[in-house]
Amino acid sequence: MAGRKSARNGRRSAAAGKSGKSKTKKISSSGKTVKKTSFSPTKKRRSSRLKKPISEMTDRDWKKWGKGLGDRIERSFSQFGEEMEWHGKRIEKHGKLLEEKAMSWWYRTFGSLAPLIESIFSVVCIWIAVLVINFLNVLLPGVLLTEISSFLSSHIGFFFSISLFFNSIKYIIRIYKRTYWVLKPIDFAAKVTVFLWGLAWAFLIINHSTGIALFSTMSGMIFPRLYLVLILLAVLSYVAVIILHSLIDRRALK
């Protein structure tokens, strides 16, 4: 009898396992239920996106679908932008490292002759530009090209001198780090003055090619004040350097 009961119980538990549910009761000698365990089958995960036929889609469903699509597109573009920004910073970092290595090799190889070689190379580039402009002026004659060619060819000596000046300052600052605070204000003031000088000449060339008197007036306002601009910018730059040094010293003392 006991064997038959155990066989029946085994069949029942197997049937319950097949149906997905099984219940077990543990009964004490007094006839009271002590423990009850139940098992339920694992539920399948439902997809977060409901799939409906197009004919059954309501306005609310379309709005929900459109909002989800817009959010996914926005996240994709945001991730793409972040990746592009990361790659851009990485490329910029590698570019700076390559530039630093190239400059180190250049100055280590040529030494104090490096500024002179750079200036000669700049003048050669200007001469090539003059030749190209003259060639274009033969094909397409015009006052503007003639004025530009005349300006570049007549100021070759100035371009060589100013290039040698700036390249020498860059070389000295790179070799002697402590001269940065002394030479950088002069370098900044000279670059701004040269830029204004070139702008005044551009206004003058445009005036000669177009005949508009306004450009001649503007160039006439800039040319006489270039020396004043150079001196004023140099003084203000040195004042800014002194103030910055005093702030750095105060922070160091604190």
Cβ atoms < 10 Å from Cβ of 153: 15
Total domains in the fold of the chain: 1
Q: In this structure, is residue 5 part of a structural domain?
A: no
* The pLDDT of residue 52: 65
Which whole number is the average pLDDT over 83-111? Answer: 85
In whole angstroms, give the CA distance from residue 2 to residue 182. 107
Q: Is residue 34 part of a domain?
A: no
pLDDT tens-digit readout, 147-205: 999 999 999 999 999 999 999 999 999 888 888 888 999 999 999 999 999 999 999 99
- What range does the domain containing 148 cover? 115-253
Amino acid (one-letter) located at 91: I
Query: Within a domain: residue 147?
Result: yes
Residue 206 belongs to a domain? yes
Is 0.75 topped by the overall pTM? no
Most confident of 94-103, 120-129, 203-212: 120-129
Is residue 249, in this structure, part of any structural domain at all? yes
H helix or E strand, kind and range, residue 35: strand 33-39
pLDDT digits (tens, 9 = 90+) for 126-151: 999 999 999 998 888 888 889 999 99
User: Residue 184: inside a domain, yes or no?
Assistant: yes
Q: Which residues are CB-contacts of 25 (< 8 A; sequence separation ≥ 6)? A: 33, 35, 36
